[in-house]
Amino acid sequence: MTHPRTLSDIPTPALIVDVPAMERNIRRMAEFFAAGACRLRPHFKAHKTLEIARRQLAAGSCTGLTCATVAEAEAASDFCDDILIANQVIGPDKTARVAALAKRTDVKIAADSVYGLEEMAAAAQRAGVTVGIVIDVNVGMPRCGVAPGEEALALARRAAGLSGLRLRGVMGYEGHVVAIEDRGEREARARKAMERLLTSAQMMREAGLACDIVSAGGTGTYDITGRVEGVTEVQAGSYVLMDTAYAKLDIPFEKAFSVLGTVLSRPAPGLCVTDSGHKACTQDHGNPAVKDAPGASVLFLSDEHASIAIPPDSPVRPGDRIQLWPSHTDPTINLHDVLYALEGETVVGVWPVTARGYAEQRHG
């Protein structure tokens, strides 16, 4: 099938990627990690797109990839032999798939319960493989993770004692601080979170347990967490394409993707309506911003429409194209089958969002 050749040929709504900007983001991040001991483990969930992940790994300074789901790990395993599923894997179907993956790649999963460990161990024993375990430590975000210290140590001992598992270390995602705009506060709170993680790692080592991996961090803390001594890898993902929420922070990454829409209607001088509603662009971190249109702002998104306030003397008319900058990368990308890769106005690729949605549903 032939693909659109220029920006104006792309059917809307569509996701478009500014490839040179994306490449600059990839390079900046790789250079940061090349200058220190800590490595980058880019989070695949941000874009779920093989073409982008390959470029991140090729830029260097990476240990492998972070994934959120088993389906992402399956997709990534075609070209990456070091994968961390930074999440609990629960359910016999999922643990069996992780065990199958372990036959062809070095896969590690996060665990915060004996239940999770035992289920994974049973699946690994059935498949005759060994699966890596990182103990998920709660470093302050009210999500998964065992309490730092004794609780983390007790779970690590259990992991070390189960056949089919190999204890590799700890992870602790400081998601409660990554978006704090004030740099001083973000830094202080990220460091506090890392103390909890590093104390747990130290207790494990003192007890004679393995702890080679200390994994943490996101786009908002990459240069804080990534310079804390003892943290071995950072799981940042959004930096590669960026969104308006992260663009508020003092970090050196460019907004490299947008949602392209077509103006359907100009019902009033101060209003235009495009076809890029919230089935094409998430709103979970707020309305998207309007790119290259001074004085324009999104009023609201409906299913298939974006209602955009524009200056009454704006020449915008039906058929024009308008780009929106999403407030949140991951859930926006997940809405689309493909990304249109652009250099200037030329389409240089159409990249499938391979691991989008619940990819397992497509396997029947």
Ligand X SMILES: Cc1ncc(COP(=O)(O)O)c(C=O)c1O
Q: Given the rule CB under 6 A, which residues bind ligand X?
A: 43, 46, 86, 173, 175, 178, 218-220, 235-238
168-to-62, 77, 239 alpha-carbon distances in Å? 17, 19, 27
Contacts of 2 (CB under 8 A, 6+ apart): none
Minimum distance from residue 174 beta carbon to ligand X (Å): 9
Q: How far is CA 205 from the centre of its chain?
A: 30
Of 67 and 162, which CB lies nearer to ligand X in the complex structure? 67
Contacts of 289 (CB under 8 A, 6+ apart): 244, 297, 298, 324, 325, 327
Contacts of 5 (CB under 8 A, 6+ apart): 346, 347
Minimum distance from residue 16 beta carbon to ligand X (Å): 20
Spell out the long-range contacts of 146-151 with Cβ–Cβ below 8 A and sequence spacing 24 or more. Answer: 146/112, 146/113, 148/172, 148/196, 148/197, 148/199, 148/200, 149/196, 149/199, 149/200, 149/203, 150/203
Of 240 and 263, which CB lies nearer to ligand X in the complex structure? 240
Whether 163 and 121 have beta carbons less than 8 Å apart is answered as yes
Minimum distance from residue 240 beta carbon to ligand X (Å): 8
Whether 131 and 163 have beta carbons less than 8 Å apart is answered as no
Of 45 and 97, which CB lies nearer to ligand X in the complex structure? 45
Taking only Cα atoms into account, the Rg of the chain, rounded to an integer number of angstroms, comes to 22
- The interaxial angle of helices 50-58 and 19-34, nearest 10 deg, is 40
Of 230 and 349, which CB lies nearer to ligand X in the complex structure? 230
Minimum distance from residue 119 beta carbon to ligand X (Å): 20
Minimum distance from residue 243 beta carbon to ligand X (Å): 9
Minimum distance from residue 96 beta carbon to ligand X (Å): 23
- The reply to whether omega before 331 is within 30° of 0 (cis) is no
Of 186 and 305, which CB lies nearer to ligand X in the complex structure? 186
Tell me the residue number closest to ligand X, measured at CB: 218
Of 155 and 242, which CB lies nearer to ligand X in the complex structure? 242
The DSSP bridge partners found for residue 171 are 136, 215
273-to-147, 315, 328 alpha-carbon distances in Å? 49, 14, 21
Of 85 and 289, which CB lies nearer to ligand X in the complex structure? 85
Minimum distance from residue 249 beta carbon to ligand X (Å): 10
Minimum distance from residue 295 beta carbon to ligand X (Å): 30
Of 105 and 235, which CB lies nearer to ligand X in the complex structure? 235
The DSSP bridge partners found for residue 39 are 233
